[in-house]
Amino acid sequence: MGDSLKKFDVDTIISHGDDLVQVLKDQRDINSLTQCFEQTRALSSSCNDDFNRSQVQLQDYQRKLDECRQKTEKAKLETVSDAEMELLDKELHAERENERLLLEELR
């Protein structure tokens, strides 16, 4: 059985080889294959250019996102919490009340 499989494979390969030789004998087929090959190379080059541009844009967007995150974190650190703001507001009112009382005493 192994010999019949080998013979079949060899016969198939020879048949395909003969078909390929017949295709390559016709100049139109060679020109068509050459044209397809050139178009494939052009398409591949175009795809590579698009890919490279996309990579650069993605890196730029990532850099902008990182900068935005840093600015957001910095703003959060600089922001006064509600509790702290309430405490400062109470201190301000107390200081104004003290100033008002001092002004009344001076008059």
Q: How far apart are CA 32 and CA 82, in angstroms?
A: 75
**Residue 7 confidence (pLDDT):** 60
**Residue 86 confidence (pLDDT):** 87
Q: How many Cα atoms sit within 13 Å of 83 on the Cβ side?
A: 0
pLDDT tens for the chain, 107 residues: list them: 455 555 668 888 888 888 878 777 777 777 888 899 999 999 999 999 999 999 999 999 999 999 999 999 998 888 877 888 888 889 999 999 988 888 888 87
**Residue 1 confidence (pLDDT):** 47
Q: How far apart are CA 12 and CA 94, in angstroms?
A: 101
**Residue 8 confidence (pLDDT):** 64
pTM over 0.85: no
Q: What is the DSSP string of 12-49?
A: HHHHHHHHHHHHHHSHHHHHHHHHHHHHHHHHHHHHHH
Q: Which residue has the tokens 């294959």?
A: 33
**Residue 51 confidence (pLDDT):** 97
**Residue 12 confidence (pLDDT):** 87
